[in-house]
Structure 1
Amino acid sequence: MLAPTDRLCVSRAMNKQILSAFSVHLLTATGAIFSMLAIIAAANEAWEVMYLWLVVAFAVDGIDGPLARRYDVKTHAGQIDGVLLDLIIDFLTYVFIPAFALYQSGLLPGWTGWFGVLVIAFASSIYFADTRMKTADNSFSGFPGCWNMVVLVFFAVEPPWPTMVGLILLLTVAMFLPLKFIHPVRTRRWRKLSLPLATLWVVLALVATLMNFATPGWIEGALILVSLYLLVVGIAQQIIPERKRTA
């Protein structure tokens, strides 16, 4: 049997683990606060403020997963479903708010605004509920509904509305096709290139946001090129066979 002092040490260690695990859930839940601040900014057409809050939410989303695995939240704070909580926040920040901003901004005129946001919301709700969205290598099966990235490029570049509608339709269809889209952090293959480019995309997006989307041509071009890489690199990995490592 453990001595009283040993039992006290074990109890304190367990309490610390539980506290750390629940703290990760609380960190994830702050995404709801940032989402609310973002949608308030969008309602007031303060687009740069909206995207700054979304960038903060994006940063939280990038660190809460590794923290959840480090502190084993499923074991020590299993009363809260961290995966479901994360999906709720992701739907707000990746889908709902960007779609609302796209409509509110008037970038899609007339009926195209209604059409675009309703298609995004409807298709994304089905995709987010699909239990097959993750692949064995921690990528996504189908376009993972990252409309926040797409809409930011729309804001920065302001392409003609037929181009935007066409891209929305193309990416909506791609959500339900057996095409792979990488997770820049968790997809191991080509991560040494993908992760720096994803970081560059965040920097470019932040610069465009701080400039109120009055961006010079080189930033627009860089955003387009990096976005295209992040969109097609997973498909390229499906086409190009991975080299087998030799012992």
Structure 2
Amino acid sequence: MQKLAAWSVHIFTASGLLAGFMGLLAAVDGDYRMAMFWMLATLVIDGVDGTFARMANVQEVLPDVSGKQIDYVIDFFTYAILPAYLFWVAIDMPDTPRLLGSFAMLLSAAIYYGLEGMVSADGKHFVGFPVLWNMVVYVLIFVTPDLAWPLVLGFVVLLAVLHFVPILVPYPSRGGRWWVLTIVNTVAFIVLAAVNVWYYPEPVAWARWATLVTVVYYTVLTVMDTATVRRK
């Protein structure tokens, strides 16, 4: 029974790849709304599978199966490849800068995954901007669709560079400064994402502005945590 539960958790984790593939099919069909819904589904799966893994004690029950490696495979597709493709097909800009933006996402993500120490010693922060291109593309398409393309490209390049700058980005599920508020902010971001995507392409002004507030919160927290560590 323990092995069945442990395998069920791994299969649940792997289902994130199926959701990502469905997102890719939707993006190929030009259904960006459905593509993003599938992308949000992968985010939810990735957010809760670790809790299920600890409940089922998968490391001890199935020591020869690495959930972390399964996660890496799925995450690279859903957090990098799929968003880079969605950026290519859905962002309105000339072909060359659009390709450069997709390349910046893929190259920075590939190298970032090869680095040691992507998470801080206390486990409460990502070191450098984490591979969250799915959420970046969500904001660009569904929250700030009218942003001028040079600003879009500049924003993408900046985040690609920040992969390799030792800033400390909050890891919401692992505690840290203002942890409860951070969890609330994270839940709000996901709920607002569902609202913005549901009503797309009709703009929902309050939901878009509220989304930007949640992004500003993470930015402020990153600056504060990074500055605190540097002072120490």
Task: Using structure 2 for the length normalisation, give the TM-score.
Answer: 0.92
Identical residues among aligned pairs (%)? 29
Q: CA deviation at 1:73?
A: 1.4
Q: Give the distance between the partners of 1:182 and 1:66, measured in 2 at CA.
A: 18
SS at match of 1:185: helix
- Aligned with residue 188 of structure 1, among 166, 171, 176: 176
Mean Cα deviation higher: 111-120 or 210-219: 210-219
Aligned partners of 2:170 and 2:176 also within 8 Å: no
Q: Identify the residue that residue 203 of structure 2 maps to in structure 1.
A: 215
Equivalent position amino acid for 1:149 in 2: M
Aligned partners of 1:140 and 1:183 also within 8 Å: yes
1:142 correspondence with 2:128: yes
Equivalent position amino acid for 1:233 in 2: L
- Aligned with residue 79 of structure 2, among 94, 119, 128: 94
Equivalent position amino acid for 2:10 in 1: H
Unmatched runs of 5 consecutive residues or more in structure 1? 1-15, 242-247
Aligned partners of 1:102 and 1:108 also within 8 Å: no
Equivalent position amino acid for 1:183 in 2: Y
User: CA separation of 1:170/1:232 partners in 2, compared to 1, >3 Å: closer, same or farther?
Assistant: farther
Q: Give the distance between the partners of 1:199 and 1:22, measured in 2 at CA.
A: 28
Question: RMSD across aligned C-alpha pairs, in angstroms?
Answer: 1.4
Q: CA deviation at 1:28?
A: 0.2
Q: Give the distance between the partners of 1:22 and 1:196, measured in 2 at CA.
A: 31
Q: Give the distance between the partners of 2:177 and 2:7, measured in 1 at CA.
A: 32
Q: Give the distance between the partners of 1:42 and 1:232, measured in 2 at CA.
A: 33
1:34 correspondence with 2:14: no
Q: How does 1:9-158 map to 2 (within 5 A)?
A: 16-138=1-123, 139-156=125-142, 157-158=144-145
SS at match of 1:33: helix
Aligned partners of 2:168 and 2:222 also within 8 Å: yes
Unmatched runs of 5 consecutive residues or more in structure 2? none
Q: Give the distance between the partners of 2:201 and 2:121, measured in 1 at CA.
A: 38
Runs of 4+ in 1 over 4 A off after TM superposition: none
Q: Give the distance between the partners of 1:108 and 1:66, measured in 2 at CA.
A: 40
Q: How does 1:230-245 map to 2 (within 5 A)?
A: 230-240=218-228
- What count of residue pairs does the alignment treat as equivalent? 226
Q: Identify the residue that residue 186 of structure 2 maps to in structure 1.
A: 198
Q: Give the distance between the partners of 1:107 and 1:202, measured in 2 at CA.
A: 25
Superposed CA deviations along residues 41-96 of structure 1, whole A, max 9, x for unmatched, are 00011011111111111111111011112222121112221001111111111111
Task: Using structure 1 for the length normalisation, give the TM-score.
Answer: 0.87
1:224 correspondence with 2:226: no
Equivalent position amino acid for 1:81 in 2: S
The structure that has the greater radius of gyration is: 1
Aligned partners of 1:198 and 1:230 also within 8 Å: no
Q: Give the distance between the partners of 2:106 and 2:15, measured in 1 at CA.
A: 23
